[in-house]
Structure 1
Amino acid sequence: MASALFTSASPWLELPDPLPLDGGQSLANLRIAYETYGTLNAARDNAILVCHATTGDQHLASPHPITGKPGWWDKMVGPGKPIDTDRFYVLCPNVLGSCMGTTGPGSLASDGKPYGLRFPVITIRDMVRAHVALLAQLGVESLYAVIGGSMGGMQALSLAVNWPGMAQRVLAIACTAAMPVQNIAFQEVGRQAIMADPDWQGGNYYDSGRAPDAGLAVARMAAHITYLSEETLSEKFGRRLQDRSAKSFGFGADFQVESYLRYQGSSFTGRFDANSYLYITRAMSYFDLTEAHEGRLADVFRGVTSRFCLVSFDTDWLYPTSESRRIAHALNAAGAPVSFMELAAPFGHDSFLLDVPALDRVIAGFLSR
């Protein structure tokens, strides 16, 4: 079941039973890649599950095997860091549908060929269902905390709601309880860019020697804009030209911001699978905790026993503070213990991945209580 495009040196585990999915299908021989940091104590009560964002992976605090870059939250996880591995056993699995070792559309099906679009459409809850199955196989029956930012925050909320009592603490950063319509629209633009690329070939490109890199690059460029703030773009690039003193009166990358986005798009194709992008963004588009409660978010949290901490950033327009505040109000209405704070940061949605010392303090404080 290894990915047909990418490999990972991470530990992996194959689930003994088929995983049922929200769409009515199931996946047999499901392989999950993951990384762990720290040691599980004798009482097995110090485990923290960290859920990654859309195009993230399990390489939380270890070098990425393709890019060689440090783990995506290396600054946050480790000995003496806010998520202290001298104290906690930290797990980060690669999500279902991805391409870094966990079974996804690029993995081999039972006939020995890549799934492609034969892979079933999945949901955020399916991703968490796979996490829970992995934890069970590792002998972890409860969590000290579940933590995630962006899509990782959605996973954290889904675990709290659908597996109540499993996590003592829930820390959801820069996320939402239901995908906003504008974000669904942005994601559809990215999917259409991929599917419009002739090299997509209906999703059956793995053995053709061609991949929809141009479409995937455009999808990444569009998404990357939403992760940044106007302040960041203006300060970093402004209207400055790229390697020229005058406009070219052509369609090359005249502006620095254009060159930056092209680089982001092209480099992304070397570490991510286009079909995985389709499946993961579709799962996010479907995400709505209130779906079974006629839009009443407070009802979703009734009976949930976890303590919650919600964090937003003042420059995040992808999942603005109003989304986190709505969750906080619903938790209050349901009688659940919750703290909520909006942090000042110039970086936009990506603030949770960057240097925001206030976030370090929030996470360390929430885990120390």
Structure 2
Amino acid sequence: MTIDPRSLPASHSSVSVPIGTFTTEAGVDIPGTELRLFAWYEGSAEEAVARPVIVIEHALTADGNADDWWAGMIGPGLALDTERYLVLCANCLGGCQGSTGPSSAHPDGGHWGSRFPALSIRDLVTAEKTLLIDVLGIRRIRGVVGASMGGARVLEWTFMYPEVVEAALPVAVSARASAWQIGIQSAQIRFITADPCWQNGDYHGSGNIPSHGLGQARRIAHLTYRGELELDERFSTDPQPGENPYGPYHSPTERFAVESYLDRQAEKLEARFDAGSYVTLTDALNRHDVGRGRGGMNAVLGSSQVPTMVAGIDTDILYPYHQQEHLSRNLGDFIGLSKITSPTGHDGFLTETRQMTIILDKFLTKAALLAQR
């Protein structure tokens, strides 16, 4: 690895890194592209660049600050041990946390808005490869790890740049978007684009944002992220305190407790995430298909040359466990399948810290042994 230590941000911090003009798979140029890079390591940057690199791929509405959303996983003595590894995570292209996306300034003035092109999962990975390999100078990555949309990027790394990746751990994801996933995700996009404040995507700087549409999209999405058993145990049919959903007429101000919970999730996302990024990245997930243009899904899985461990959650509604079993049966260099048992559904990779730690320990032990071959 020939990475210049001066190119790293200080540990537990981030820096925006220019990667030049990025051209999408479909042939659209994005001049002046930047990605926001976060890093974690103990000691000096000079010491860190000599360690194996672990790349974390974040999920749809997360960001490069993995230490914030993956609590208990990154740090000295933790699963992603910052005394042993240089841990990196970049906010993806199209995002809204420091990387170039629809809310970014356009070189010709104003914001990108409707001028920002559609992206594929492969575009996101190509941008990250440009950042990590071409700009920073990393030559080998010990492990690429990610869940959900991050897991889709992990899979694409193994097919697009197998010469760089020593091992991969995709979690709670499938080889391609299913019709059900496309349907539920397209419904979320339509809620946002039907909001009068959407303005064909050119709402940035107008003083009006499509918060209602984004909130509706989040309510639907959050139900697919959590488990049916968990929600029923937490909320049952209880009314929200002080409200009465059993009254003689329906009223949006008289809610069940679960409605209040979903309203709060919507409010939190509206405060921190751009609707344009939500549409762009959800559409990228709809386009996810490792077999596209490569001879078919199972054929390309069988051609995999990167040792890949797979993990899933037993109660996942969004990416059911049978999809990870399918990966395990078809991947050409498959090194293990782990099941996370959790009532919380798709978000089990975030909530089940102990189980996820065991999986990462297993994965990194195998990756280290494979790297010695």
Give your verdict on TM over 0.5: yes
Specify the alignment match of 1:67 in structure 2: none
Deviation at 1:97, TM superposition (A): 0.4
Residue pair 2:243, 2:255 contacting (<8 A) in 1 also: no
Whichever residue aligns with residue 144 of structure 1, its letter is R
Specify the alignment match of 1:290 in structure 2: 291
Specify the alignment match of 1:4 in structure 2: none
Deviation at 1:238, TM superposition (A): 0.7
Determine the C-alpha separation between the residues in 1 that align with 2:229 and 2:353.
Answer: 15
Specify the alignment match of 1:313 in structure 2: 313
Which one of the candidate residues 10, 29, 32 is aligned to 1:29? 32
Residue pair 1:40, 1:88 contacting (<8 A) in 2 also: no
Determine the C-alpha separation between the residues in 1 that align with 2:198 and 2:243.
Answer: 38
Instruction: Give TM-score scaled by structure 2 length.
Output: 0.89
Determine the C-alpha separation between the residues in 2 that align with 1:296 and 1:130.
Answer: 23
Specify the alignment match of 1:12 in structure 2: 16
- The 3 A distance-change label for structure 1 pair 80 and 185 is same
- Which has the larger helix fraction? 2
Deviation at 1:298, TM superposition (A): 3.4
Displaced runs of 4+ in structure 1, greater than 6 A? none
Specify the alignment match of 2:338 in structure 1: 341
Determine the C-alpha separation between the residues in 1 that align with 2:243 and 2:152.
Answer: 45
> What secondary structure does 1:30 align onto?
strand
- The 3 A distance-change label for structure 1 pair 355 and 253 is farther
**Residue 81 (structure 2) pairs with residue 84 (structure 1):** yes
Residue pair 2:51, 2:84 contacting (<8 A) in 1 also: no
Specify the alignment match of 1:140 in structure 2: 138
Deviation at 1:358, TM superposition (A): 1.8
1:195-238 deviation per Cα after TM superposition (whole angstroms, max 9, x unaligned): 11111111111121110001100001110000011111111111
**Residue 322 (structure 2) pairs with residue 322 (structure 1):** yes
Deviation at 1:99, TM superposition (A): 0.5
Determine the C-alpha separation between the residues in 1 that align with 2:307 and 2:186.
Answer: 34
Instruction: Give TM-score scaled by structure 1 length.
Output: 0.90
Structure 1 gaps, min length 5 = 1-8, 62-70
Whichever residue aligns with residue 51 of structure 1, its letter is E
- The 3 A distance-change label for structure 1 pair 338 and 91 is same
Residue pair 2:175, 2:297 contacting (<8 A) in 1 also: no
Deviation at 1:294, TM superposition (A): 4.1
Which one of the candidate residues 112, 117, 129 is aligned to 2:126? 129
1:261-320 deviation per Cα after TM superposition (whole angstroms, max 9, x unaligned): 111112211100011111000000001001123434233441x43211100111001101
Determine the C-alpha separation between the residues in 2 that align with 1:230 and 1:300.
Answer: 31
Whichever residue aligns with residue 310 of structure 1, its letter is V
Determine the C-alpha separation between the residues in 1 that align with 2:118 and 2:161.
Answer: 22
Whichever residue aligns with residue 17 of structure 2, its letter is L
> What secondary structure does 1:280 align onto?
helix
Q: What's the % identity of the aligned pairs?
A: 33
Residue pair 1:116, 1:204 contacting (<8 A) in 2 also: yes
- The 3 A distance-change label for structure 1 pair 102 and 42 is closer
- The 3 A distance-change label for structure 1 pair 279 and 169 is same
Deviation at 1:37, TM superposition (A): 0.4
Residue pair 1:40, 1:46 contacting (<8 A) in 2 also: no
Specify the alignment match of 1:96 in structure 2: 93
Which one of the candidate residues 187, 191, 194 is aligned to 1:193? 191
> What secondary structure does 1:340 align onto?
strand
- The 3 A distance-change label for structure 1 pair 42 and 118 is closer
Deviation at 1:244, TM superposition (A): 3.3
1:34-91 deviation per Cα after TM superposition (whole angstroms, max 9, x unaligned): 1000157577450111000000101111xxxxxxxxx001211111101111100000
> What secondary structure does 1:11 align onto?
strand
Determine the C-alpha separation between the residues in 1 that align with 2:101 and 2:74.
Answer: 27
Specify the alignment match of 1:6 in structure 2: none
- The 3 A distance-change label for structure 1 pair 189 and 293 is same
Residue pair 2:49, 2:86 contacting (<8 A) in 1 also: no
Specify the alignment match of 2:268 in structure 1: 267
